Amino acid sequence: MKILVICEDIYCKINSKEKTGGPNGALYKHVKKNKNEWFYIGGEENIPQSGMEILKWAKSKGINRIYVHKTQQNVDEILEDIRQQLRRDFESIEIIGFHTTDKELYDALINADLSKAEEVIKKKQAIPHFSTLKHKIMHIFLPLDIDFQGISKVYTQEGSQKAVDHLKDMLRSVLSSKNEPSFPKDKDNKPAYYRQKLADLWYAVVKKEFSDIVSPSENIKKLIGNNAAIDLIPKEKMIDQKVNSTWKKLLETCGLKYNDSNQFNDKKVKPDTDSDIFEFVCQLDDLLAKNNVDKNDVDGILKFKFHNWYNKLGECLDELREKLSG
């Protein structure tokens, strides 16, 4: 990997000769360590004023990541300029701001220790990233939760036939896109719309695809920092019994089986096809294939208390986030 560090204080402490030819003619220092290349820019008069200048130069050097000292003069303008350009033309370059008060990261950057820098960043980003991931996960099932609360209420207040009509409308809405290329189907070419929602959940939690059932959607793969829930748990937290217990509960709620001796071994995680949530989404996909609904179908579907499951999923994620931040 190639890394650029923009910080006057760090620049002065790097024991390497200055080179010419940095962004906009700036001086820079170059260090090679453990197959990684580090580029350092510093000095008040030596910091380029344009993020575009930095990005063009970084791209020409094949730089993958840029660390910017947040209290550096003009850094706010540089960061914003860089982010604007990143959104358009430089998606392969990651930008990370830092303070010299972040001693662990500061020392890692001085010593060109990429593993340590990544470890520190992972810890700092875990909680905000986990919160964003939780929102993404809950959004997968929110429309379904709203639909089934409505069906359950209609069944209670207006009778089974009205509930049948409500379920038919829900399924009809899904089937309206059946002929589109992106509509999910299983290996037998049968609708897999609801199983894919579960596959999306599995991917967001353990970042695994179980294509023998159905592949997750392309949208769910756009995880922040490419991190699923399992990636946001530091190694030292994996031995915490409270974290262990919550993680097991989350996997079980998601309809996943795991290795009892090491539940964080993602290679051993696989779908539990006997779980209630898996059977529920299979029932819904069967109704899509049948394209017909009667009272028995509604009764069968409502046996599974989806709203309770949905709330439990949210509680598991909140509990895990709390354990990680403690």
Contact by Cβ (8 Å): 219, 137: no
CA distance 111 to 271: 43
Residues 6+ apart with CB under 8 A from 60: none
In whole angstroms, give the CA distance from residue 141 to residue 143: 6
Give phi and psi for 69, each to the nearest 5: -70, 120
Neighbours of 303 (CB within 10 A): 11
DSSP 8-state assignment for residue 185:
B
pLDDT for res 73: 45
3-state secondary structure 230-254: HHHCCHHHCCCHHHHHHHHHHHHHC
Note the pLDDT tens digit of each residue in 254-286.
999 998 888 888 888 999 999 999 999 999 999
For residue 36, give the H/E element and its range.
strand 36-41
Residue 107: CB atoms within 10 Å? 14
Do 44 and 69 meet the contact criterion of CB atoms below 8 Å apart? Answer: no
Three-class secondary structure of residue 179 per DSSP: coil
- Name the stretches of the chain with pLDDT < 70: 43-51, 70-92, 326
Query: Residue 65's beta-bridge partner residues?
Result: 3, 94
Would you state the pLDDT for residue 301? 92
- 31, containing H or E segment: strand 28-33
Burial call 204-218: b when 16+ CB within 10 Å, e when fewer:
bbbbbebeebbbbbe
Q: Strand runs (DSSP E) across 207-324, as ranges?
A: 256-257, 270-271
Predicted pLDDT of residue 178 = 84
Map out the domains of the chain with their CATH numbers: 2-112 (3.40.50), 125-325 (no CATH)
Residues 6+ apart with CB under 8 A from 119: 234
Q: Could you give the 3-state DSSP secondary structure of residue 295? A: helix
Residue 164: exposure state from Cβ atoms within 10 A (0-12, 13-18, ≥19): buried
